[in-house]
Amino acid sequence: MPIRRFRLYVDETGTDAMSGIEHVAHRYLSLTGVAIDEERLEDARDRLVALKARYFRVHPDDPPVVIHRNDILRRTGPFQVFGDGDLLRRFGEDWLDYLGETPFTAFTVFVDKLAMSRREYWAIRHPYHYAMELLVEKFTLFLERNGALGDIMPEERRGKKDQALQAAFEEVRERGTRYVGAARIAAAIPSRNLKFRAKMANVAGLQIADSVSYVSEKHIKRHRFAREMVLSDYETRYLAMLIDHKYDRSPQRLDRIWGYGIKIVP
């Protein structure tokens, strides 16, 4: 039987800067990864192409439409059509159906930078790299449970940031994490290189990760830090889908997501 292979698509919410972290707008960083079986990638891509064709008319010479939550909210570029609220609602329902029908496993690592900055060991840690280290750990454990191999595709940030993340990834493969040794990580994730892709590369997995990351982060903030935060009806249904079917979970207790699909530090 051939070995299953998964690709982890990674998206960032928040900022990795350590300035102004006393302000709630700059305090948190989260990385969300969605793991998709490589045998399902072609189907995920084709169904996404079909979904977009129902809502957008793109000239053959123009760049493809890339689903990006912030652009949808601002109604920029091709998303100007969503000035029609009814059309946006219909797209939202189709998008939720698309996610529900796409097999993926979600992981979110959430970093409270202010709280971490007060820990002695934090002085030498970069928040994005630390979150990626934990994401690598969770992905490795997931791959081991599934007898699978994997690689990782972060969204490209270009230049020195990508170079630094690549160096941090190589370091974690060489020294391991607190709970998973280097040999286990290298066995589960054989490639030493991250597979960076730009947003405009129109990768289905990165577009899914972009969408999931916002709802996942809002769920964590609501649960842990700001219980008064209100979810819309759409966000509530979106979150129920993640909780019921998408977040990684304990193989012994299927209702246990915290520590598996969701990791909060500190």
Mean pLDDT within 35-60: 95
Q: List the end-to-end C-alpha distance of the chain, in Å, as a whole number.
A: 41
Parallel/antiparallel/unpaired status of strands 262-265 and 5-14: unpaired
pLDDT-based confidence at residue 22 (cuts at 50, 70, 90): confident
Q: Is the pLDDT of residue 124 over 60?
A: no
Per-residue pLDDT, 117: 82
| pLDDT value at 77 more than 80 | yes
Mean pLDDT for 228-237 is: 88
Hey, how many other C-beta atoms are within 10 angstroms of the C-beta on 95?
Answer: 20
Mean per-residue pLDDT, 168-172: 90
Domains of the chain: total = 1
- The pairing of strands 105-112 and 149-154 is unpaired
Mean pLDDT over 158-162 rounds to 84
Q: What average pLDDT does this structure show over 19-38?
A: 90
What is the distance between the alpha carbons of residues 266 and 250, in angstroms, rounded to a whole number?
Answer: 20
Which residues fall within 8 angstroms of residue 65, CB to CB, at 6 or more apart?
A: 52, 56, 58, 77, 78
The CATH number for 141's domain is 3.30.420.10
Q: Considering only 160-174, 216-230, 246-260, which range has the smallest mean pLDDT?
A: 216-230
Distance of alpha carbon 9 from alpha carbon 210, whole angstroms: 9
With beta carbons less than 8 A apart as the criterion, state whether 102 and 36 touch. Answer: yes
pTM for the complete prediction? 0.94
- Residue 225's pLDDT band, with cuts at 50, 70 and 90, is confident
Average pLDDT over residues 79-100: 95
* Residue span of the structural domain in which 81 resides: 5-265
Has residue 226 got a pLDDT over 80? no
| Sheet with 105-112, side-by-side order of all strands | 149-154, 5-14, 28-37, 105-112, 262-265
Query: 145, 106, 133: which is closest to 194 by C-alpha?
Result: 133
Backbone φ and ψ of 146, nearest 5°:
-100, 5
Q: What percent of the chain has pLDDT over 70?
A: 97
Assign 123 a pLDDT band (cuts: 50, 70, 90).
low
Query: What pLDDT does residue 121 have?
Result: 65
